[in-house]
Amino acid sequence: MHTTIEQVVTSDEAARKTVTHARREAKAMVEKARQEAEAMVRAGHDRLTRIERTGIRPIVMEAEQRAAEKLARAERHIQQLQHAVAERTDRILANFMDLLLDGREESSGMTGRHSPRRS
């Protein structure tokens, strides 16, 4: 029984660390994508300012369109990252709960619903 408790505690600690790491990694990825998007917007604005000074309006319109497309791609990328983080977190928590439930069922002598009883 003591070993089962240690396994649960170890699994809990590992799951918490994995979730914390995944959250940190996702946050860093989202921040990087946001910074890249902001840099693209700034670069686009700088380019627009230079072009407007020269009076070449068709180029300005093209730059605006490219900047909008890049920003839209960056936003989609951020959403994909956030979705991936949410899925990973859900999966980690589900796996952790399965480990906890399997450990409880093994310690009480019951067989698991989701997996066969381990020997």
DSSP states of 38-58: HHHHHHHHHHHHHHHHHT-HH
The mean pLDDT of 27-51, rounded to a whole number, is 89
3-state secondary structure at position 111: coil
pLDDT > 80? residue 60:
no
pTM for the model stands at 0.38
pLDDT at 117: 44
Would you call 1 exposed, middle or buried from its count of C-beta atoms within 10 A (0-12, 13-18, 19+)?
A: exposed
Lowest mean pLDDT among 7-11, 70-74, 108-112: 108-112
Distance, CA of 94 to CA of 73 (rounded, Å): 31
Cα–chain-centroid distance for residue 31? 11
pLDDT > 60? residue 20:
yes
Q: Which residue would you say has higher pLDDT here, 59 or 87? A: 87
